[in-house]
Structure 1
Amino acid sequence: MYAGVGNVAPLLDDHAELVKRIAWRLHRRLPTCVQIEDLIQAGMIGLLEAVERFQSDEEASFATFAGIRIRGAMLDEIRRGDWAPRSLHRAARALKRARSDIERRDGRSATSAAMATELGMTSEEYRRLCDDITLTHLTSLDATLADQPALEVSADAAAIPERLVERQDLCEAIVRAAQDLPEREQWLLELYYEQGYNLRQISERLGVSESRACQLHGRAIRKVREQLGEFA
């Protein structure tokens, strides 16, 4: 435990604002269904762990050490995916099964129309489902990898490298596939995947609402997703 600390409550109070700052920074990059309170709660657990594990003779300050533990606890919460609606998890599994069934039965790639029919959906319902699943996957992955210092990445070396490779490959594939998109949609994807803007910031750059930016992003992704089958 932090040397000389008998009562941890004051130390927790002193660093509660740090927990909130880290939580809000991550929350900006997550779907709206993610509750900021859940991130803060996870961060407070990380802060408590930092108090218990910090050694006062370490070179790093307690604030630096605590920041790493706090963000790590929040990322663990995000990776578990508990915030995503269970219905969306079930739908994603059903979509994968339907695609496999069609390709095995027909011997060719499943079209959107075939997928909608297989799932008993209208074309519009299928389109919206794909948007929800795609946006949730990509946003979650971005949030997991966002703004992580080298020390934090090395602390989770078993999990992060494959995700880094996956994200790099995904971004490169999207850039290649986006060449035929309208200029506005190309710019949106460039801002999101290459420059690291979140949807709130992009909406301000485009002069539209955040929900509209989300729709534009989904439409752009939908146009290139046939070329990104390996990432589905």
Structure 2
Amino acid sequence: MYTAKGTLNRDDQLRKYSPLVRRLAHHMIAKLPPSVEIDDLIQVGMIGLTEAISRFEPTQGVQFETFASQRIRGAMIDELREGDWMSRGSRKSQKDIEQAVSRLQQKLKRPPIESEIAKELGMNLADYQHLLAKVRGTQLVYLEDIGGHSEDDDGFLDRHVGDEEAEPSARLQDQRMRQALVAAINVLPEREQHIMSMYYEHDMNLKEIAAVLGVTESRICQLHSQSIARLRTKLREH
């Protein structure tokens, strides 16, 4: 494990902890857009692991796996921040959909249907559905400012793909957020309830949900993006 100089053996540690890099990458990729490649995260994570090996000091009283996990996550998040992983156009499109849903919800006193949302946006149904498909993958950003945070990339990354060893108050806030999310899902239109429940409560991906419901994955993507707009509108009431 250690060299003659008392430092960690780099090759041994890389072999031993490469599964940790893959595990952290897969955990993070679940919360990111499809445009982010898992192999890219793993590659950057391995760089973080290499740096952790070179900088680790056993005298610090911290286990190497804990130290390495922080370095690996940090390397991945830095890479995401440097890349244009969420375009301004996609963010604006999501906000436009959300605002249309909010206006219609207030006016109709019920969840608006797709055609009504499309009309509110000045689109035909096909163009609206194309827009829903276009914004797929960035939809989790809708949840980033529920607690009143500013809408910025760093804040989203820190809150949603950062260190799992969060302080108790942060874990409690996350628990309350999850409870509010489940409550919001329960007032969605029935079909969207099923989709979001499978996605958030049962950790199913969109392809699996499409197979269960007997529709295309692209259709599930559309409904998922639309549901997120509804959820954010509802969650902002809390």
**TM-score, with structure 2 as normaliser:** 0.60
Shift of 1:115: 3.8
1:135, 1:218 within 8 Å by CA — same for their partners in 2?
no
In structure 2, the gaps of 5 or more residues are 145-156
Cα 1:177/1:71, change in 2 over 3 Å: same
- Equivalent position SS for 1:51: helix
Percent identity (aligned)? 30
Shift of 1:8: 4.7
Q: How many residue pairs align between the two structures?
A: 212
2:25, 2:45 within 8 Å by CA — same for their partners in 1?
yes
* Pairing of 1:22-171 with structure 2 (within 5 A): 22-28=24-30, 30-57=32-59, 60-75=62-77, 77-78=79-80, 82-92=84-94, 95=96, 112-117=117-122, 121-133=123-135, 135-138=137-140, 145=160, 149=164, 152-154=165-167, 165-171=176-182
- Higher percent of residues as helix: 1
Name the amino acid aligned to 2:233: G
Q: Which residue of 2 aligns with 1:19?
A: 21
Distance 1:22 1:224 in 2: 25
The reply on whether 1:219 has 2:226 as its aligned counterpart is no
The reply on whether 1:181 has 2:163 as its aligned counterpart is no
- Equivalent position SS for 1:215: helix
Distance 2:177 2:226 in 1: 19
Shift of 1:13: 5.5
Deviations 1:161-204 (A, max 9, x none): 76665454333211x213x514xx54432221223333355456
* Pairing of 1:189-228 with structure 2 (within 5 A): 189-202=196-209, 206=212, 212-213=216-217, 215-216=219-220, 218-219=222-223, 222=226, 225-226=229-230, 228=232
Deviations 1:61-82 (A, max 9, x none): 3234313432344345557773
Name the amino acid aligned to 1:112: I
- Equivalent position SS for 1:23: helix
Cα 1:122/1:85, change in 2 over 3 Å: same
1:98, 1:115 within 8 Å by CA — same for their partners in 2?
no
Q: CA RMSD in A?
A: 4.8
Q: Which has the higher contact order (CA 8 A, sep 6+)?
A: 2
1:50, 1:66 within 8 Å by CA — same for their partners in 2?
yes
Cα 1:43/1:133, change in 2 over 3 Å: same
Cα 1:23/1:164, change in 2 over 3 Å: same
Shift of 1:147: 11
Distance 1:91 1:33 in 2: 17
- Equivalent position SS for 1:83: coil
- Equivalent position SS for 2:36: coil
In structure 1, the gaps of 5 or more residues are none
